[in-house]
Amino acid sequence: MAGPTITRVRTIATSPGEGNIQRRLIVVKVETSEPGLYGLGCATFTQRHSAVRTVVDEFLAPLLVGRDPCRIEDIWQTVHVNAYWRSGPVMNNALSGVDMALWDILGKLAGLPVYQLLGGKCREGAAVYRHADGATLEQVEERVRQFMAQGYQYIRAQWGGYGGRQALPAAPDGAMPGAYYDPAGYARSVVTLFDHLREALGFGVNLLHDVHERLAPIEAVRLAKLLEPHRLFFLEDLLPPEQVDWFRLVRQQCTTPMAMGELFVNTQEWRPLVEERLIDFIRCHISAIGGLTAARKIQVMCELMGVRTAWHGPGDVSPIGHACNVHLDVMAPNFGVQEWAGFLDVEREMFPGCPELRDGYVYPNDKPGWGMDMDEALAAKYPCPEGVLEWTQARLPDGSPAYP
């Protein structure tokens, strides 16, 4: 007896945020010939959401209709090379949306949650870390204490956001507008921040920090070395992907644990770092690398090399994408920690079956597939805004462009 075939592939775009929160979410829905059988996947690329929609709706949909949705590996490989040029974030997100939706379908056909398809649980829930920020040292400390009181064991501390909020030197006349920051002032402030937090809180809480590629390589090495006495759980995105060779020098200088990868889109970017054990945690944005199929292979490779997972989990990932993270988290022997931004109330309503957060741990449900659905009528009430992004227009004090 013939199984189901793919009958329709389409994107659903929504932005359920309010005010300064703009979560341009893209979900791919793959429908099949079996009534009521469909899958949902995350293809969220907030910065280029319309481009992803075009790839899925105009190129992947006609490619996939009529195929067997259970041939996940075959479809992944076919889509990956179908444009001939590959490994960019737009194409990978489009592929990811399809890939996650196919795993959702497979789970529903099997009557099993996705984590069971991957081998079953190693743990019941995944420990998460939250973001503590503030304009002053005291505000950051208070925010960390609040999270500790709520049961969180892992907390990322930032003083004034990415790049800090230190006073800036005067820019040259005619300097371009942008998100200005001072790398030297920022680097000094990070050491001051963790001096304060360790003095106030001791070493009973796991603290993290995100550099967000804001430093020149040699200054990044210096910062990693200066933070070594503070015993961070990890230092995140110390270097941009273009400068990863510098991680060899970081390893020679200190034992501060390194987490890297949210900007990676190509196997050749993370493979040398893992093979040479230059990082301690892999931080990929799962939809940017091509979905669950790609992430599972990275997870296994990292397990063999003693590298733990810490998948990217910001607010601009759909609840379907967060569910994918969590299903991987609970089954992976080499799980480290999961970034967690939390869900808005409207997101929980829009995506019934969201993973649940309790006392510092996030739990998947035990329903087939992702165990989730999507209210498309509600999603339509929150259209994605257009416009130019500002925060990624980072600039140095002299007006020159910098990494965001």
For each of the domains in the chain, give its residue range(s) and CATH number, in order of start.
6-113 (3.30.390.10), 117-367 (3.20.20.120)
C-alpha distances (whole Å) from 315 to each of 16, 25, 335 are: 11, 10, 21
pLDDT at 17 over 80: no
**Which pLDDT tens digit goes with each residue over 138-178?**
999 999 999 999 999 999 999 998 988 877 888 888 888 88
Of the candidate ranges 7-21, 59-73, 246-260, 323-337, the one whose mean pLDDT is the lowest = 7-21
Q: So what's the pLDDT on residue 1?
A: 60
Helix pair 137-149, 183-201: axis angle to 10 deg = 50
Question: What global pTM score does this model have?
Answer: 0.95
For the chain, give the mean pLDDT.
Answer: 94
Q: Rounded mean pLDDT of 125-130?
A: 98
212 carries an active-site annotation: yes
Angle, CA 187 vertex, CA 186 and CA 193 arms, to 5°: 80
Sorting pLDDT into bands at 50, 70 and 90, what band is 219? very high
Round to whole Å and give the CA distance between 135 and 342.
22
Residues 6+ positions from 353 with CB-CB distance below 8 Å: 323, 365, 367, 370, 371, 372, 373
pLDDT at 208 over 60: yes
What percent of the chain clears pLDDT 90, i.e. is strictly above it? 84
Sorting pLDDT into bands at 50, 70 and 90, what band is 21? low
Q: So what's the pLDDT on residue 321?
A: 97
Round to whole Å and give the CA distance between 98 and 102.
6
The residue whose two tokens read 């510092």 is 360
3-class SS of residue 151: coil
Q: Are 116 and 308 in contact (CB under 8 A)?
A: no
Phi, psi for 32 (deg, rounded to 5)? -125, 175
**Which pLDDT tens digit goes with each residue over 287-332?**
999 999 999 999 999 999 999 999 999 988 999 999 999 999 999 9
Of the residues 129, 152, 154, 162, which is catalytic?
A: 162
115 carries an active-site annotation: no
Of the residues 212, 230, 312, 322, which is catalytic?
A: 212
| Token representation of residue 181 | 């920051």
Sorting pLDDT into bands at 50, 70 and 90, what band is 55? very high
**Which pLDDT tens digit goes with each residue over 331-369?**
999 999 999 999 999 999 999 999 999 999 999 999 999
Q: So what's the pLDDT on residue 107?
A: 98
Q: Which of 259, 327, 316, 321 is nearest to 287 (CA)?
A: 321
